[in-house]
Every structure is written in C-alpha cells, then in structure tokens.
C-alpha cells in the first residue's frame, strides 16, 4: 500500500485527500478542502472514509503555506500514516510538459515558464508545490496535468489558425479538465463506449469528445478561459471584441484578463453571481439571471452537438462536475435542446439521482451522471509514476 496525498489547488482553495493505493485500487482515507484562502469567511472542512466530519472550522487561512500546514496537522491529529508521495493537480503543463511527471528542479522551471498560459491557476499551484516540498522534505512529488489527456489530439483539432512562427512557440489548443476526463474513463472501464461525450460542467466548464478512451477534440483551447460560458469566464469570444476594447476603450492586458476571467460568464450576464445555485434562487424574479442560465445551457448544447459531429455520432454522454452532477434542471434543459438528435432523459430519474443512468430507454444514446474523481486519479497516477 502506497499512501498518496493528493493536492488540488484552486485560485483561492486547496482540496486534498489521503489515499491508499495498491495494485491500481484506491482507498480514500480522508479528504477535505480549505476554502477562501486569504479572505474573511474562509473554511476548513474534512471527512474520513465513512463520511464522518473530522474537521470543520472557520479560522482564517492566510495563504497556501498555511493551508498545507493545516492539512499536515490534520493528518497527524488523526493518527494517519505520513504520505509516501504527494501528487499535485496542475492545470497547464505548457509546451514543455505534455505528460504527468515527477517534480524536480527542471520541472519546476518549466512550470514557472508555463504560468502565462494559465495565470489564474498556476501561481497558487506552484506555491502549494513549494510549500509541500518544504513541509514534507524528501518525499517524492508529482505533477499531474489537466492538459495531458488531450496531448494526443489530432493535428486538425489542436492547431490554431495562426502563422507557423506563433504555433512553433507552443500556441495551440491544449484542452483542460483532463484529470476529470481520465477519472471518467477509468470508472467506465469494461463498459467504455466507443464514442463518448464528457460534459464537465462547474465553475469551469468544457465538453470533450472521447473515441475509444482517447480525447480527439475538446471545447477549451490555449487557456482554460475558452469554450463554454462559465461561472466568471467568458468562454469563446470574437477576438475582435478584445481588439476593440484595447483600441477604443484603452484596456491593457491586465484589464482584459480581469474582464475575461473574473467578471464575465454567468456573473457578467446576470450581474448577480457566477454560482448557478444562486442564479436558480433569484431566476423567477430576475430576467438577467434567467438569461444567464439559458445561455449556459445553450452554450453547452452547441458544444455537445459540435463534438458529436467530431465523433461522427454518440454512444453515450456523461455529465460531471459540480453543475453536471448536481443540477438536474440544467441537465434537462441541455438535453431538451438535443431531442432532434434522439436524446431523451427519463425526467423522474434525472430529478431523483445525482449519479447513474438518467436517459430514457428510447434515447438514441445513454446519458449518465458520473462523479468526477480528480483527486483519486491524481493518487492513482502518482503511484504509477513511482
């Protein structure tokens, strides 16, 4: 049994889990999350393998270093074994790191160079890596990339319509949510359909076309800002919009980044929130909130149809991610717009479950809800790398 600590960094959060890995089987020992790091209203929560709460407090967690220390303190307090390895979720490997790998000085330098590709996600992830190396000296650590699952996409799908000199600098479509997709493919082992669409819908959202277990196309591109409408991210925009804002409104790169990543998406449309749960609460009385929900579903529906074309048909659709797993109304609205393709949900089953088959027997393809298990996948990959 190899005990692996999986660390999944967000821009202001740190999800973690200690897993025992043996012969490809993964056992969850404890998991949790430090939320709102560096801000008032922060929260630290953890549960054991039986789902019992073992930590819950609202103490301020000042930074990523404090979050790592809090995780280490929890493991010690519970008498759990020290991790033999630590695996990190890294959103973007950049052009020099296409595969999951062990972390050393060379890898850290390449990760530093990849920061411009995902400036929202990479700095906190690098901070967590450095603090973990400091707090757990001598323990091997791995980088597990969201981009790796898509690294083998066909050239026709990965190439951007830009001059060769720019493409040669690593400017191409990378794709993201790869660890989530890998976890779905692993869970479907033995019954994996040949043509699968994975709709990872959460604060970040993407649709991936998977043929025989491999990504052949995906909605996100060079960065995690592209593709579908998301919580606070715009998704795909006419590039002329950015040029207009620069030329006519005097926006610089920082202001454009703030708009595209932090003030657009569901938040920008509704003017209320980037959280789908909050939008549902106010939708009855707020037309902009209703529009935001409708546009999100419309965006996802178009992406699913486009990826179905890339696959040449669909055998199954999987909804995953926070919205995909827990919002039956959004699933229903998306699939209602795909009835022309013969896709139909069993309404009672869709409303009643947050996992399993939700399609009607008459549907042209199966529709499933499957939990994304990124941290479990990190543990599995780390054990394999070691």
Sign, CA torsion 34/35/41/44: negative
Of 106, 139, 109, nearest to 126 by C-alpha is 109
7 within 8 A of 355, measured Cβ to Cβ? no
Given the residues 48, 59, 63, 146, select the one marked as catalytic.
146
Sheet holding 2-9, edge to edge: 53-57, 43-48, 25-35, 14-22, 2-9, 85-90, 141-145, 101-102
Sign, CA torsion 172/175/179/185: negative
Q: What is the DSSP string of 260-312?
A: HHHSSHHHHHHSS-S-HHHHHHHGGG-HHHHHHHHHHHHHHHHHHHHHHHHHT
56 within 8 A of 44, measured Cβ to Cβ? yes
Q: Tokens standing for 200?
A: 């990872």
Pairwise CA distance, residues 17 & 382, whole Å: 13
Residue with tokens 């990479």: 122
CB-count exposure of residue 375 (10 Å: 0-12, 13-18, 19+): buried
Pairwise CA distance, residues 199 & 181, whole Å: 9
139 within 8 A of 86, measured Cβ to Cβ? yes
Query: What do you get for the CA distance between the two ends of the chain, in Å?
Result: 12
Q: Quick check: is 327 catalytic?
A: no
Of 256, 260, 270, 185, nearest to 224 by C-alpha is 260
The catalytic site residues sit at 146
């Amino acid at each position: 049994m190899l005990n692996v600590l999986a660390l999944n960094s967000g821009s202001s959060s740190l999800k973690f889990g200690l897993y025992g890995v043996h012969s490809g089987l993964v056992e969850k020992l404890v998991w949790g999350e430090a939320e709102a790091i560096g801000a008032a209203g922060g929260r630290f929560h953890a549960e054991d393998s039986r789902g019992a709460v073992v930590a819950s407090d609202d103490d301020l967690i000042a930074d990523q270093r404090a979050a790592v220390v809090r995780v280490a303190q929890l493991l010690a307090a519970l008498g759990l074994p020290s991790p033999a390895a630590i695996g990190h979720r890294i959103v973007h490997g950049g052009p020099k790191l296409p595969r999951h790998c062990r972390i050393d000085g060379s890898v850290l330098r390449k990760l530093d160079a990849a920061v411009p590709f995902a400036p929202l996600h990479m700095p906190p992830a690098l901070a967590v890596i450095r603090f973990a190396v400091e707090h757990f000296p001598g323990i091997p650590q791995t980088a597990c990339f969201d981009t790796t699952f898509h690294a083998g996409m066909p050239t026709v799908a990965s190439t951007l319509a830009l001059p060769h000199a720019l493409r040669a600098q690593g400017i191409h479509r990378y794709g993201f949510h790869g660890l989530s997709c890998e976890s779905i493919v692993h869970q479907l082992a033995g019954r994996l359909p040949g043509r699968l669409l994975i709709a990872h819908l959460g604060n970040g959202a993407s649709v991936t076309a998977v043929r025989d277990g491999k990504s052949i196309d995906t909605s996100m591109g060079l960065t995690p800002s592209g593709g579908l409408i998301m919580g606070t991210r715009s998704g795909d925009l006419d590039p002329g919009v950015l040029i207009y804002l620069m030329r006519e409104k005097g926006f610089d790169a920082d202001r454009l980044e703030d708009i595209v990543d932090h003030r657009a998406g569901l938040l920008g449309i509704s003017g209320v929130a980037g959280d789908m749960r909050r939008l549902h609460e106010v939708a009855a009385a707020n037309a902009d909130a209703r529009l935001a929900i409708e546009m999100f579903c419309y965006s996802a529906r178009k992406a699913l149809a486009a990826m179905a074309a890339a696959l040449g048909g669909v055998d199954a659709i999987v909804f995953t991610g926070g919205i995909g797993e827990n919002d039956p109304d959004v699933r229903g609205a998306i699939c209602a717009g795909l009835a022309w393709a013969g896709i139909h949900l069993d309404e009672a089953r869709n409303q009643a479950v947050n996992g399993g088959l939700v399609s009607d027997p008459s549907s042209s393809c199966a529709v499933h809800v499957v939990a994304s298990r990124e941290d479990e996948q990190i543990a599995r990959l780390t054990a394999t790398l070691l």
